[in-house]
Amino acid sequence: MQSSPDISPCLAAQVQISLADRSYPIMIGSALLANSATFAGLPRSAQALIVTNTTVAPLYAATLRAALQPHFATIHLVELPDGEAFKTWETLNQIFDALLGHACDRKTVLFALGGGVIGDMTGFAAASYMRGVPFVQVPTTLLAQVDSSVGGKTAINHPLGKNMIGAFYQPLRVVCDLDTLKTLPERELSAGLAEVIKYGPIADMAFLDWIEANIEALMARDATALAKAIQRSCEIKADVVGQDERESGLRAILNFGHTFGHAIEAGLGYGAWLHGEAVGCGMVMAAELSCRLGLVDAAFTARLKKLIGRAGLPVVGPKLSAQDNAGRYLELMRVDKKAEAGEIRFVVIDGPGRAAVKGAPDALVREVIDSCCV
């Protein structure tokens, strides 16, 4: 984890992901998308492919294409439908159709222009096409800038489980242009704040203090506050990923709130709640579990719940079944990447600023779900 001492006028900060020959920078600043220098030094190739969606394309595709023109002779564009519901094999194949249709070779560079869904699918396509082609993350949502674009997790969803089909595959760089957050709907901004808040209780209580003091500025899209939030979030994630790239241990703590959250997404149907909304509510449930396990006190849980609510996120879980709501949650959570031999493993707060992965008796988890759901 390190910051660049050489900051250009457009570059507010740069964080390095240190993974030996797979290391890369996360660039954070304004007007990066329109600057051709942002994309200098990438592998030389005759072709590039921008992957985006129908919402982002009209806003930023032409700007990115113009910035890439000095570097690539031909730049193709594929527009995917927008939304978590389209994070599927069928949509993924549209990327492969474009690559094959344009006779792209293994030097072709892919650019993921959009939020977490676009980043995940473009990365998975890059990992798979010709067994691996280079790609660049250009995240346009807060959630993608602070979390999903960083660290090399790529995947698509399955009706039985979120992100269960994918690969670890690192980008060449991540370009976080703060200007793209100006067009972000308020609901999407709040969803991104869930992933920002997450970093405090698992790794940095001083950062949590800062978020509490600056939540209104973040909600108002203050550029200085957003730059700091993105930088610190990326620094924490870079540190964790640098130690555990493939989630064999430490990296699992980054999934705080996600076990409950993924169950909410799958149970309601992908897209009913945004990923960040489900994670925000999932953090409330995970904090309550931590409290009932005796790891944190009720005051900590109440503090976190209050902050999540201030960020405009839901703090009460939805009913996934009228007959046995807790049972439905448990059923969905058993299809989770952290589950071992059918036992659900939860990321819990093992004291403020520390996280751990632990099991919990079904009866206790049922109590948590019943207390946190409408």
Cβ neighbours for 119, distance < 8 A, ≥ 6 positions apart: 112, 137, 139, 144, 148, 149, 154
Q: Could you give the count of Cα atoms lying within 13 Å of 175 in the half-sphere of its Cβ?
A: 27
Q: Give dist(CA 204, CA 103) in Å, integer.
A: 47
- In 3D space, the residue among 226, 176, 229 whose CA is nearest the CA of residue 204 turns out to be 229
Question: For residue 65, what are its two tokens?
Answer: 């294409």
Q: What positions carry a catalytic annotation? A: 131, 153, 195, 237, 247, 251, 255, 258, 262, 275
Radius of gyration of the chain (CA): 20
Compute CA distances 301 → 127, 201, 218, whole Å: 39, 10, 22
**Which of 59, 50, 108 lies closest to 80, judged by CA?**
50
Q: CA 64, CA 33: separation in Å to the nearest integer? A: 6
In the chain, the DSSP E strands lie at 11-17, 24-29, 47-53, 74-80, 109-114, 135-139, 153-158, 161-168, 174-177, 346-349, 355-358
